[in-house]
Every structure is written in C-alpha cells, then in structure tokens.
Amino acid sequence: MKTCPYCGSEVVRKKRDAYSLGVWTCQLCVMKVNPVEDGARSNKFEIKQMISEDDCRLPLSELMTYHTFDLLLVLRILRQQRRENFDLMRTIKKADSPEYREGEQIAANEYELITRRMWAVENLLLERVGYIPEVISEKYLEKYLERMSEDKNHKPMQFKKSFKKSS
C-alpha cells in the first residue's frame, strides 16, 4: 500500500487526464507527496557520513540537499579552516615585512570567504534544528548518530488491526 511519508495515511494518485502519470496526494496533509510503502517513515535527506573539504566549497543550493548530520561535518571543517586561516593571518601580520603585504591581503580575503561560507552553513543548521551548535565534538556527533538510530525514527506508522476494530 502506498502511504504518506509524513502521516502514514494511504495516498491516492490524482490524474489530470488519461495520459498523465498523476501526482500522489495525501488527503490528510493536503499536499503532494513522494509515497512510501506501508507506513514507512522517510527522510528526504540522504546521509553520506563522509565529508571532505571539497564538500565545503559546493554551492549552497547543493549543500541544502545534504543531511543535517553531514552539514554538521561541513561546519566542523569550515570552522577548522577558519581557525587555521586566522593563525596564518596573525603570523603574517607579526612578520610585518613589505614582501608579505600581498600575502596578508590574500589571507584576509580567504578569511572573509571562509567566514561567509561558515555563516551560510550555520544558518542552514539554524533553519533545520533551530539553533547554531557551538562545539561540534566527537561526542556530540556520536550522540547525534545514536539518536538517529533509535527505533522510533524507523518504526512504521501503522495501526494494529485489532485496535482499529475495537475503536
């Protein structure tokens, strides 16, 4: 049975005419949905769990399709890059030598770029979870994965038949 991934109701396919494939619609949620089977829950964001520095340079529209867990990993890399860049800037400044002027400017530009990328990902997380995580430690990530694997996240949305009869 095709069901709604949000409320678990059976969904119907509405066809505009005999030739159209039609769109799956949930009557309770009153919207088009990508149906799932028999009350399964679904997360439209697929987890990668392997994030590299390349991911951090992707257009924001692409990062918007990332799982929240992966966005946490992206933010952690960006924060690390920002710290390293800040240290580099400080080292160049300390040297205070004319031949480093150009390098100082390049490092400053890079610092602004990384900071803005970091802000963008922070705001994606703000939209998703309602706050910007302060420290993304190993422990924080472990806990996050643990919560994701909890049964309630995967339990199908089904009524027992006997329950339905007696009510």
DSSP state of 149: T
Please report whether residue 7 would count as binding Zn ion according to CB under 5 A: yes
Selected from 6, 69, 86, 144, the binder of Zn ion by CB under 5 A is 6
Selected from 12, 23, 29, 58, the binder of Zn ion by CB under 5 A is 29
Please report whether residue 148 would count as binding Zn ion according to CB under 5 A: no
- Segment contacting Zn ion by CB under 5 A, of 27-35, 38-46, 131-139, 155-163: 27-35
- Name the residue nearer to Zn ion (CB basis): 14 or 101: 14
Distance, CA of 46 to CA of 48 (rounded, Å): 7
Nearest-CA neighbor of 140 among 69, 81, 78, 65?
69
Please report whether residue 4 would count as binding Zn ion according to CB under 5 A: yes
Q: How far is the CB of 40 from Zn ion (least distance, A)?
A: 13
User: Is the distance from CB of 142 to CB of 27 less than 8 angstroms?
Assistant: no
Q: How far is the CB of 39 from Zn ion (least distance, A)?
A: 11
Distance, CA of 71 to CA of 34 (rounded, Å): 24
Nearest-CA neighbor of 144 among 70, 79, 74?
70
Please report whether residue 120 would count as binding Zn ion according to CB under 5 A: no
C-alpha torsion 157→164→29→132, nearest 10: -40
Count the residues of the shown chain that bind Zn ion, applying the rule CB under 5 A: 7
Please report whether residue 36 would count as binding Zn ion according to CB under 5 A: no
User: Interface residues with Zn ion (CB under 5 A)?
Assistant: 4, 6-7, 9, 26, 28-29
